[in-house]
């Protein structure tokens, strides 16, 4: 695995936790599960930077699971779209533009989200526009697994297939947990791969917390022609500290001081281990 | 009697402009026929997007197209567009500030006997309550043309409601004064102010003509721009009048009547009466039968105005 990325992932997680503590709330579980997906996209896969953010040929990203915004803000900050420490200091504070769901007055944020099930249709529109204009843009949209219960997701899935949008790549953060508990207990998902395949999508499954696996998955998605691709990325909710890993209660739990210290200790230890790997 | 419905005029304008503007895109949800947009789909297949019977997808895709620089016009029955995809209109269009024009076709009670599922007597209230969403109800084919041309010039979200059937002209091709977001003054008077929008403008003008014969003078404002409401004109003409009446093909709550009442109440208190559809299932019938039944025609509006003045 890319050692540098792995080391960075701990730094980014610590920044994300600091942002949540500063704002007095956030969706920490999903932030942690999606971290490697966002990092692989923004640091390796996508053609996007502060310099080309208005270039029509850029790649587009939509965070459809908008509640897990803190890791997104962290990555955009590191990427240079704005000053990360300023974002951390003002996150969710009075009058701040850094609110608890993506806000497209902030540089780097394409669309507002927060209501689940909206991202895929919007991504379909972006991908159709790129095809119409024969632009090289690729469009990425990240959804939660609980979000897949929204009917509008499947309207988007139908149209993505209908228009053969091979410039569109959806990623499902398959952490198996949603606010009320295990996704299979709340509303059965069975085999998501079969569902997407039945809708005509190219389906790739991978370990969503592993950079090598993600790199391979995105390369395969890029190479596939004629259909949109969905990457079902198996992840661990709350990844990075045992006190929150795979626990539904940490969907939007705000760590108390003791928990915060333990999380930061665990992340520091993880970083040390990654450095010495 | 005019035979061209407003929806057909929108198609004509878009077809004229699409020739030189490849960014104009029309989207339908299995509604190209009822929207009179089949001709556009035939002439410009590469600028047309069919989404099937999926209004949420319709509006979401439109927002994505707009984000990528396109000028999408999404047409779907107002009943579905303003309810099923309301959240997409709110979040993906208004809140995200994407240049999407939502065309609610067969609005109000246009679908007549098809019943309440197909009526949209709530769309002004819902759409106008969303920040950054504008709401327009053109009154006839000539104004629809001017409005569509104006909407192509801006890059902001808007909801436009039009009816299904041809409506009698209010204007002529050569005489259709139009200023964006300014009400059109059709008649000036001292006794009554009539403020109407959409298909109710013609009956309001008819009412003013009836009243005139009986010695009562009325101002008629064509408030096609329900939001942003032309407050200035409301205040100016309400100040000249003894009473104010509003007329709209909408629920009595949250529409043109409510908005005009707010302005009049705050700036120039007068008695205000809202003529609107009832807060109940609308009686079965064609638009004309329904409007006649509820007194939403020239005679009915004139009668209500006289009683209100007395």
Write out residues 137-156 of A within 8 Å (CB-CB) of B: 137, 151-152, 155-156
Using one digit for the tens of pLDDT, what is the confidence trace for B90-122?
A: 999 999 999 999 999 999 999 999 999 999 999
Contact A111 B92 (CB under 8 A): yes
Question: Is the pLDDT confidence value at B286 over 90?
Answer: yes
Give A31's contacts (C-beta < 8 A, 6+ positions apart): A13, A16, A20, A68, A69, A70, A71
Question: Is the pLDDT confidence value at B167 over 70?
Answer: yes
Distance from CA of A218 to the nearest CA of B (A): 22
Gap between the Cα atoms of A149 and A116, Å rounded = 9
Average pLDDT of chain A is 97
Which whole-number Å values give the CA distances from A12 to A17, A73, A81, A90, A252, in the listed order? 9, 10, 15, 17, 18
Nearest by CB to A125, which of B64, B87, B91? B64
Which residue of B18, B49, B54, B60 to mutate against A (max A Cβ within 10 Å)? B60
Q: Which residues pair with A63 in a beta bridge?
A: A142
User: Where would I find the beta strands (DSSP E) of chain B?
Assistant: 24-28, 48-50, 71-77, 101-105, 134-136, 158-161, 184-187, 192-196, 218-222, 225-227, 243-247, 271-275
Q: Which residues of A touch B69 (CB under 8 A)?
A: 56, 129, 133
Report pLDDT for A1: 63
Contact B57 A155 (CB under 8 A): yes
Contact A128 B61 (CB under 8 A): yes
Gap between the Cα atoms of A110 and B188, Å rounded = 48
Shortest CA distance to B165 belongs to which of B258, B267, B288?
B288
Nearest by CB to B92, which of A122, A132, A162? A122
Contact B57 A104 (CB under 8 A): no
CB A173 within 8 A of CB A30: yes
Tell me the whole-structure pTM to 2 decimals: 0.97
Contact B66 A125 (CB under 8 A): yes
Gap between the Cα atoms of B74 and B26, Å rounded = 6
Q: What residue of A is the nearest CA neighbor of B27?
A: A125
Which whole-number Å values give the CA distances from B110 to B167, B204, B289, in the listed order? 11, 18, 11
Question: Is the pLDDT confidence value at B202 over 70?
Answer: yes
Gap between the Cα atoms of B282 and B65, Å rounded = 37
Contact A151 B56 (CB under 8 A): yes
Instruction: Kindly state whether A57 is in contact with chain B, defined as any CB-CB distance less than 8 angstroms.
Output: no
Report pLDDT for B1: 84
Using one digit for the tens of pLDDT, what is the confidence trace for B34-78?
A: 888 999 999 999 999 999 999 999 999 999 999 999 999 999 999
Nearest by CB to A112, which of B56, B66, B91? B91
Residues of chain A with pLDDT under 70: 1
Buried residues in B192-223 as b, exposed as e (16+ CB within 10 A): bbbbbbbbbbbbbbbbbebbeeeebebbbbbb
pLDDT-derived band of residue B142, with 50, 70 and 90 as boundaries? very high
Report pLDDT for B35: 84
Task: Find the helix packing angle between B141-151 and B6-18, rounded to 10°.
Answer: 40
Average pLDDT rounded to a whole number, residues B149-157: 98
Using one digit for the tens of pLDDT, what is the confidence trace for A6-52?
A: 999 999 999 999 999 999 999 999 999 999 999 999 999 999 999 99
């Amino acid at each position: 695995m890319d050692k540098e990325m792995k080391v960075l992932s701990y730094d980014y997680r610590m920044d994300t936790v600091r942002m949540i503590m500063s704002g007095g709330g956030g969706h920490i579980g999903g932030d942690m599960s999606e971290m490697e997906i966002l990092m692989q996209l923004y640091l390796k896969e996508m053609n996007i930077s502060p310099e080309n953010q208005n270039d029509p040929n850029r790649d587009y990203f939509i965070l459809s699971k908008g509640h897990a915004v803190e890791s997104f803000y962290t990555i955009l900050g590191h990427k240079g779209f704005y000053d990360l420490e300023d974002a951390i200091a003002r996150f969710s504070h009075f009058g701040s533009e850094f609110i608890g769901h993506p806000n497209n007055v902030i540089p780097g944020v394409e669309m507002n989200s927060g209501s689940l099930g909206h991202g895929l249709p919007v991504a379909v529109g972006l991908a159709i526009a790129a095809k119409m204009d024969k632009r090289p843009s690729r469009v990425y949209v990240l959804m939660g697994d609980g979000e897949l219960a929204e009917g509008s997701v499947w309207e988007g899935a139908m149209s993505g297939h209908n228009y053969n949008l091979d410039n569109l790549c959806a990623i499902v953060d398959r952490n198996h947990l949603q606010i009320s508990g295990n996704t299979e207990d709340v509303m059965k998902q069975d085999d998501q791969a079969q569902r997407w395949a039945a809708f005509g999508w190219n389906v790739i499954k991978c370990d969503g917390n592993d950079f090598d696996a993600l790199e391979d998955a995105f390369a395969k998605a890029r190479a596939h022609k004629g259909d949109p691709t969905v990457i079902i990325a198996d992840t661990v909710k709350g990844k990075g500290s045992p006190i929150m890993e795979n626990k539904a209660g940490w969907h939007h739990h705000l760590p108390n001081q003791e928990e915060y210290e333990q999380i930061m200790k665990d992340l520091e230890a993880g970083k040390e281990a990654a450095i010495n790997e | 009697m005019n035979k061209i419905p407003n929806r057909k005029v929108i198609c004509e304008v878009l077809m004229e402009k699409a020739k030189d503007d490849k960014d104009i895109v029309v989207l339908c949800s299995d509604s190209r026929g009822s929207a009179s947009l089949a001709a556009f789909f035939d002439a410009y297949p590469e600028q047309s997007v069919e989404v099937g019977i999926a209004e949420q997808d319709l509006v979401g895709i439109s927002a994505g197209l707009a984000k990528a620089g396109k000028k999408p016009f999404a047409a779907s029955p107002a009943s579905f567009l303003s309810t099923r995809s309301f959240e997409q209109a709110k979040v993906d269009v208004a809140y995200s500030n994407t240049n999407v024009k939502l065309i609610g076709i067969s609005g109000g009670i246009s679908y007549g006997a098809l019943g309440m599922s197909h009526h949209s007597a709530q769309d002004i209230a819902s759409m106008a309550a969303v920040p950054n969403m504008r709401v327009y109800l053109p009154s006839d084919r000539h104004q629809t043309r001017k409005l569509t041309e104006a909407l192509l010039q801006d890059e902001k979200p808007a909801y436009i409601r039009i009816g299904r059937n041809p409506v009698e002209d209010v204007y002529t091709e050569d005489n259709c004064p139009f200023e964006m977001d300014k009400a059109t003054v059709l008649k000036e008077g001292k006794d009554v102010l009539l403020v109407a929008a959409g298909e109710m403008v013609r009956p309001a003008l008819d009412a003013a003509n009836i009243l005139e014969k009986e010695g009562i003078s009325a101002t008629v404002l064509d408030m096609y721009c329900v939001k942003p409401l032309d407050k200035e004109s409301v205040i100016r003409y309400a100040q000249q009048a003894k009473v104010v009446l509003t007329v709209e093909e909408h629920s009595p709550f949250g529409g043109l009547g409510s908005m005009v009442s707010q302005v009049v109440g705050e700036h120039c208190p007068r008695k205000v009466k809202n003529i609107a559809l009832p807060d109940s299932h609308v009686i079965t019938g064609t638009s004309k039968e329904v409007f006649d039944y509820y007194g939403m025609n020239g005679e009915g509006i004139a009668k209500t105005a006289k009683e209100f003045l007395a």
